Structure 1
Amino acid sequence: MKPAGAYRFRRAIRPFSYTVAMAACGLGTVLALQQGYGNVWLALLIIGAGVLIQAAVNLINDHADLPVLESRLQAAEGEARQEWAQAIDQVQRHHLLGMIFFGVSLLIGLGLVLIQGWPLLVIIILGLLGGYFYSAEPVHYKRRGLGVVLVFWFMGVLLVGGSAMAMGAPITLSLLAVSIPFSLLTSLVLLANEIRDHQEDRRHGLGTLTVRIGLEAGRYLYVTMLVGAYLVSLGLWWAGLLPWVWQLLFSLPLAFVPLMKVINLQADRSDLPPLTGKLFAVFALLFLCAFMLELVL
Structure 2
Amino acid sequence: MRSRQQLADELEALRAVEQEYRLLLDESSDPIFAFFPDGTYRYVNRAFAQGVGRTPEHIIGHRIWDVFPQDEADKRFAVVRTVFAEAETKVIEVRVPNPVGDRYYLTTVKPIIDEHRNVISVICVSKDITDRKHMEQRLAHMAQHDALTDLPNRTRFSDRLSAAIAGARQDRSGFALLSLDLDHFKPVNDNFGHLAGDRLLKAVAQRLLAGIRETDSVGRIGGDEFLILLPHLGSAEEAKRVAAKIHVLLNDPFELPEAGPVRIGSCIGIALFPDHGGSELELFKHADAALYHAKRHGRNRIVLFEAGTMPVPGISLPA
Q: Same fold (TM over 0.5)?
A: no
More helix by share: 1
Q: Which has the higher contact order (CA 8 A, sep 6+)?
A: 1
TM-score, normalised by the number of residues in structure 1: 0.27
Bigger Rg over Cα: 2
TM-score, normalised by the number of residues in structure 2: 0.25
More strand by share: 2
